[in-house]
Structure formats: C-alpha cells, structure tokens
Amino acid sequence: MPRVQSQERQMERDQTVLTPMANAIRALAMDAVEAANSGHPGMPMGMADVATVLFTEFLKYDPSAPKWSDRDRFVLSAGHGSMLIYALLHLTGYAAPTIGDIRNFRQLGSPCAGHPENDMLEGVECTTGPLGQGVAMAVGMAIAERHLNATFGSELVDHKTWVIAGDGCLMEGVNHEAVGLAGTLGLGNLNVLWDDNKITIDGDTSLSTTEDILARYAASGWHTASCDGHDFADIARALAEAAADPRPSLVSCKTVIGKGAPNKQGGHNVHGSPLGKSEIEAAREYLGWTSAPFEIPADILANWRAAGARGATARAAWEARAAAHPQGAELARRMAGELPADGGAQGAYIQSLIDNSPTVATRKSSEMALEAMTAVIPEMVGGSADLTGSNNTKTKSTGPLTKDSYGGRYVYYGIREFGMAAAMNGMALHGGVIPYGGTFLVFSDYCRNAVRMSALQHTRVIYVFTHDSIGLGEDGPTHQPVEHVMSLRMIPNLLVFRPADAIETAEAWSLALANAHRPTVLALTRQNLPPVRFDTEFKSAKGAYRLVSASAPRKVVLMATGSEVAIAMDVAKALEAEGVGADVVSFPCWELFDEQDEAYRADLLPADALKVSIEAGVTLGWQKYVGDGIAVGIDSFGASAPAPALYDHFGLTPDKILPRIKARLS
C-alpha cells in the first residue's frame, strides 16, 4: 500500500509540477518560431518532457557559474531544435538568453541564432546544426573528461556528457565513426538521448532507413535502453540506467514530434515550419496554457529556477576541494587554455636546427618539433586516423589513450577522419586539452566540415595534414592534393601553414599553440626538403617574409611555400647570374600575412616588380598577390610517377620557370 501511494504521489507531482514545466518549453518554442516566422518547433515540443527530467534530476550544472570546470556538458546535437536549449537556459536562470533575446529569435543581434552557437551564449557548449557532429563532439568531450580524470582524480574531475540527438544525427556517417570510437574507448560518461519520433523532413523514417539502431549501438559496445519520452517516471528510469552503466549509453526516447499541437503533432510538417496562429491557439487550449506569448507563470518559473539553483552546492564544494588540492592550480591553468611557462619556448630547439641543419621532410620536422613540445606541454593530446607512421604524430611523451589507460596522450582514431576532427573539436571545447591529429592532406575533404566547425567555434585544434602535394609521387592523382591547400585557405579564422623547412615548421607549431581561439592546418611534405633558414628571428609570425634580398637591381619578387621555396631560391640564383635582381619571399601562412599593416605588405610585394608565385597546387587565389604577374602551379590533377619527374612534367623546375619570367621581362 505505501508503495502504491508513493507512485500515486509521484504521478500527481509529475502532472502538477513537471508537466507545466515542460509545457513552458513548448510555449516558448512555438511562440519564438511563430514570431520569427522561421524555425523548428517540432523537436523542442517533442523532447520537452525528456529535457525537463534531465535538467531537473540528472544534469550537474550551475547557471550562476556557467564555466564551472566540473559541470556536466550538455550537447544539443539536433541543433535545428535550438529553441529547446534557449528555453532551458532562460528558464533555469542563466543570465542569457533573456526573454527579450528569445522574442528576437533568429533576428540579427540576438544570441538566439537559428542554430546554437558556442560564442554567443555561455550555456551553449558547442555550435551544432550540421547533423551528427554534436554527437561526435560529445565523444571528444567525454574523452577529455576521462583523460583529465585520470590525470587529476575524481575529486577534481568527475562529470558526464549528455546529448540530445535526432534521427538525422544518427544517420549521418560521422555518427557511425563517433559511435565506434566511443565504444572502443568505453566512454561510460557519455549518454545520448535519441529523439526517436520516426520523422525526418521528407516524412516517416521508413522512407530512408530500416536499420535496427539500438542493435548497431549495442554491437559497437554501447549500453542501450528505451523509454516512453512522455512518461516522466519512465524517462527517469532510463536515464538512471544510462548514468550507472560503465559503457556509453544510447536511450531511445519514444516521442511525438510537435507534442502539444493537436492537429499537427506526429507529422513531418511540424519539423521545420511555424505552427501558425490557429494551431498555436489550439495548442494552448490542448495544453491548458493560458499565459500570453513569452510569459511564464511565476510558479512555473520558480520551479525552473529552483531546479537551476540545485547545482550551486555541488559547485561550491568542488571549488573548496580545488582550492585545497595540490593540483588545483594546474587544472585551472589547463582549463583556462594558458600554456605552461616553458611551453612556448623553442629557442634551444631552433638553435639546434641551426647548428645541425637537417634535410628532412616537413612531416619529420613536425615530429621533431612535437618531441620537444609534448615533453613540456602535458595537455597536448595527439592522434592519427590510422596513419601514425606516415603523419609522424606520436612522440615519446604520448603513450596510448585507451579504455584501460585514459591517462595516455595518443588516440588511435582508426580510419575515421571526420570522426577524429569532430572529436578534437569536442576535446578543445571541453577544455584542459589541446588536441592535434593527422591524416593525409587529400583526406581533409573527409573532415572538411569539422575543420570549418573548428574555425566557426574558435577552437585550438591543430590538423597535421601530410603528403601535401605531387611530391608524394607514385601514389598518383587520387592521393595528390592539388586543390586542398587553396580550398582550406578559403575558410575564415583558419590558419593554414605550408612550411619550407624544419625551422619554419617549428615556428608554425609555436604559432598554432599560441593561437588559443583559432584552429591551424599544417600542410607537410612526404619528400625531404633542404634547409632554407639559418636564423632564430621568428619570421613566420608575419605570415610571409623576405628570405633572400636581390643583389642586382630588383626586378622580380618570387613567392613560394613549402617544398617550392627551395625551387624559388634556385630560380633567383639563375636570374641574378644574368643580372636580374630577384627577392625570394617565403609565404608560409597567407592569413597572418594579410593581417600585417599595409606598409609591411607593400614593402614585401612592391608595385614596381614582376611578382611570381610558385606552389605545387592550383593557381587560383595567388592572383591577389601576383596581380598581373605569373602564377606557377598545377591547374589539373596530378599523375603517377616519381616526384622529380612530376615536378619537371608540371613545369615546377628552375629550367621551366626561368623562360616564363624572362619572356615577361622582355
């Protein structure tokens, strides 16, 4: 009898407390989308009950301290349903968004953008919208938490990552990559709540898929569970099971899309369109919601604010532990993204390169720099998409990170370029970790959208892309990335380096680490390159610099990157021998050069000289620097042959370049 009474009291509480709280989410979602005449009301309305249980009973957070290090991370992978997270943040007491921000949903200047953006609201952990990447970033967050837990212990680091994902997230290919990685690493701190409403934009999911999703996850080493997504007690049961299981968890939450809109719920038309005035009126009656648009009754808001305030005690206790803990300051340093005092100092290493100038591939130069840096920057966590021996990304300091040893610093991502890149975004966003990972440059296409998301989210993620040109030789055009460097330069807020030798490579690594709010690509050679620099002045910081000054009166400025800098130097020697003065400008990073003042740029690229670019890739883009000069490159796919034969075939040798310059000069 007491048990029955307890269940009855719980059901009564659910109806009198939790249902109105969930309906507040529904009301804000439908009102904001209607006001904007744009948006996706279906998912927030369908997942309102699940989100209410999560934020009132399971999630560890404190709206008064949004960046508390040991908070749980919440990722709305189904970012199109952004009004769910905006409503939750406002209702639980975050400083933003305000109700005014929500009124201006999807309008210019409002932090309530169409899809959640991590740099607009403190309670948004990552930018989502490209489906599947939220789940993959959550995997990275869970990796970072387990690594820091192994390093600092559970007193300082012990939290979970919770995700709300939709059918689209689970269909995207990156999800499959992320799921396999999470299962292999046994990330029991990761819980994905699947909005299992059987609807996509086109209609019922049966139109496009018949797979057993729970079985797929289980086969990948995940714990799986199901619940009625509109039964608060059943939701709580499933979430408790997920939280307790030592494996990553997927919970199928059986929901009705657009729940509460009596004439449209359950159909695909409610996914991405406003409900309309008449349907909103019907929904208010159906839900018993009598408040005006954007108004939340005081008692319901008080219940939400009480839910938000419940984490303050845990946060205060954690702060006390961290203040007394011998490693508390070190954790704080890492979470703040600050490099250790000796982390940026490469002076001794660069001096060693001058003393013994190596002729090595820049992928090897990168490995040499990494050996020096990973020894003194413990938060650097590396990896490769099954190309460790080719990318040269592993060092003596970076032992394997596995489910049996989370304290390791090297992740074997497997053949999962997209999953790797998205996971690295999550690691960087979690904080306390500086991730870097490698693959071949030509395979940057596989992970391009995650690279773009790195730039959009201002994450310090470092991409080690090797085999950067036709210089890889016999593998042929499928593996020769003629267009990839240029295409990556098109992404805003992304630093793209193509260093010419060991010193430029070391400088590129230093700059990548120093830029805490933007990602970096290192495009590195397979073939050996001769040294071109013999000084310690930090020249790559300007993006481009005069490597060789003309001896005869200057008539030509030769610009080159990476493996073609040495070719430019040979061309300059030949021109000088004929009395034609030629500067050589090494151009490791366009983005940094474009940030220099006009005087510096004009001095480096004077208007009265013939400007010539030399790069083993497409010439599109060089025109902004050469003007009406000459862009030497490859505007076709490559071919299978030894590298020297290819360079000659495509006109990238001094003997082929000199006649073109002399013809223009005459």
Positions marked catalytic: 417
Residue reference for tokens 């499959």: 176
Instruction: Single out the residue of 41, 39, 11 nearest to residue 25, CA to CA.
Output: 41
Query: 10 Å Cβ neighbour count for 609?
Result: 17
3-class DSSP assignment, residue 340: coil
Helices 2-13 and 232-244, packing angle to 10 deg: 100
Angle at 528 between CA 525 and CA 529, to 5 degrees: 90
178, 424 contact by CB (below 8 A)? no
Neighbour count for residue 517 (Cβ, 10 Å): 11
- The order of strands in the sheet holding 223-228 is 73-76, 161-165, 190-196, 249-254, 223-228
Query: Residue 363's Cα: distance from chain center in Å?
Result: 23
Query: Residue 31: CB partners within 8 Å, gap ≥ 6?
Result: 280, 293, 294
3-state secondary structure of 254: strand
- Bin 627: left if φ > 0, else alpha if -120 < ψ < 50, else beta: left
Only one residue has tokens 């590396």, namely 382
What's the rounded Cα separation, in Å, for the pair 126 and 132? 13
Instruction: Give rounded-to-5 percent helix, strand, coil for the chain.
Output: 45, 15, 40
- Letter string b/e over residues 330-344, b meaning 16 or more CB atoms within 10 A of that residue's CB: bbeebbeeebeeebe
